[in-house]
Amino acid sequence: MRKQLFVALAAAALTAPAAPAYAAPPKPGVNWGACPADAAAPPQLQCASIQVPLDYRHPGGKKISIEVSRLRSTDPAARRGVLLFNPGGPGGPGLTFPLDLVRSGVPTSVLARYDLIGFDPRGVGHSSPVNCGLTPEQLVIAPKYAHTEADVVAASAFAKGIAQQCAASESAPVLPYLTTANTARDMDQIRAALGEAKISYLGYSYGTYLGGAYATLFPNRTDRMVLDSVLGPGGYDVTAARRFAEGMQDRFPDFAKWAAVRDSVYGLGATPAAVTATFGKLADKLDKTPVAGIDGSYFRLETHNLTYQTQAFPRLAQAWQSLLANQVPPGAVPPAPTPAEQSETGTMISILCGDNAWPRQISTYQENVAHDRAKYPMLGGLTANVWPCARWPKQPIEPPVQFSDQGPANLLLVQNTRDPATPLSGALETRAQFGGRARMVTVDQGGHGAALPYTNSCGFGAVAEFLVNGTRPDTDKFCGAETNTRRLSQQQQEAADRILDRMTRH
């Protein structure tokens, strides 16, 4: 199973001075119809395409297609407007995401208040997909775990290969315009095409940065904005990459406690300390002798990914069991790359490299690796290593955004205390940047996704209350841990699994 680690922009004044920040919105009107056949969507989910500029600095130039979906409000008399979604990424498809949220248990009061709007972001799925023609090895864009300075040099060479492959691909002319800022501008084109004065929004993980970008570029076109599992204000820059290691150290003790209680089932250690020692033993073993291509770096990545939600702990424990026995875990060997994987990965890389300029000196990464390997030993030698953006041939076409406290006070941030992907430290920085515009609900739990319907009722209740009634906490709020895990129906569990899959494409 292949999962990828990774995964407020410029205001109008920060865009190239001689060009407008965005094109004139299209005239209202969307021709709704059936969704693409491969979306396997029920008839109630309608789809449509809209045309947007590839380069918003030149709105009369080349156009690309953005595919949009809609689930209509269940009560037109109670309808407030539209609620857009982004499940994360960058590079995550979102066309059918509203269906999964509905199936996972979104309250009927939310369904009555909004038309639910999904979309595949530019470059992905049915929205003018790109393709870098990456090999199966290159699709895992995260670098290897570096034990030495020579390992950093090797990672730089691998990163250069990915960057050169994208630069030589047929999609190369499009890639510089796959940015968060342009995706936010696409969202405003969707808003205008729907004939709406404002949009509400619910974004997860990378979707929090996208939502912050929209709230920065178009503050007066926002209604109720929810950002769940919050990136730092720089988006997915080199700091966010290094923070994955911090998140791993925050979250892993939850798994260690869980596995220790079940030592008679999985045999990973009878105490949290023993489970942690097993992690180190397995990582060292696989560094020296991979099992069917699964080396220590892949093991570390998969362990990190499968801590995103507690429901995945049994899969993680079973994978460790297999590797301890020198066996390949079920589903661990990916099939040949699909066009969808190519478009998602190509878009992911382009956004990471197009949003921010990354350090280019190998010595910088060698210093970062040495520091993070000591501070966050489980993952720091990997996430501080050289990513493709260090060797990306083009600089970003515009500066990154600075989130601001100027604008409507309509942002609700929701954040777990022990998030393995977007740690609390980054969320606190974003909260500070937005100042009085935002309130934050912090939830005492581990995992990625604080306010999903099937996790913490306090956190999700705050989101539902805001979306339905517009009520935010008067001050930042803390939600305590909940020990009673809600039992999901089969449909809810399947929807939750799909949500987890989308949220672990980072």
Query: Across residues 356-360, what is the average pLDDT?
Result: 97
What's the pLDDT band for 7 if we cut at 50, 70, 90?
A: very low
pLDDT at position 105, please? 80
Q: Looking at residues 46-57, what average pLDDT do you find?
A: 97
Whether residue 334 is predicted with pLDDT greater than 70 in this model: the reply is no
**DSSP one-letter string for 328-344:** PPTT-S--SPPHHHHHH
Task: Tell me the domains of the chain and their CATH numbers.
Answer: 1-506 (3.40.50.1820)
Let me know the angle formed at the C-alpha of 257 by 251 and 258, rounded to the nearest 5 degrees. 95
Of the listed 171, 350, 419, 506, which one is catalytic? 419
Mean pLDDT of 401-427: 96
Q: Is 254 a catalytic residue?
A: no
Q: What are the tens digits of pLDDT across the range 58-84?
A: 999 999 999 999 999 999 999 999 999
- How does residue 342 score in pLDDT terms, banded at 50, 70 and 90? very high
pTM of the model: 0.92
pLDDT for 94 equals 96
What is the reported pLDDT for 4?
Answer: 38
- At 20, is the pLDDT very low, low, confident or very high (cuts 50, 70, 90)? very low
Six-digit token pair at 121? 């972001």
pLDDT tens digits, 101-122: 888 788 899 999 999 999 999 9
CA–CA separation, 442 and 160 (whole Å): 39
| Active-site annotation holder among 205, 229, 297, 350 | 205
**Predicted confidence band of residue 496 (pLDDT cuts 50, 70, 90):** low
Q: Is 58 noted as a catalytic residue in this protein?
A: no
Is the pLDDT at 270 greater than 60? The verdict is yes
- Mean pLDDT along residues 169-173: 97
What per-residue confidence (pLDDT) applies to 491?
63
User: Strand pairing of 438-446 and 411-418?
Assistant: parallel
Confidence at residue 6, expressed as pLDDT on a 0 to 100 scale: 30
Q: H helices of 326-456, where?
A: 339-355, 362-375, 380-383, 424-434
Per-residue pLDDT band at 331 (split at 50, 70, 90): confident
DSSP state of 39: G
The pLDDT score that the predictor gives to residue 398 is 94
pLDDT single digits (tens) 87-106: 999 999 999 999 988 887 88
Please indicate whether residue 186 is annotated as part of the active site.
Answer: no
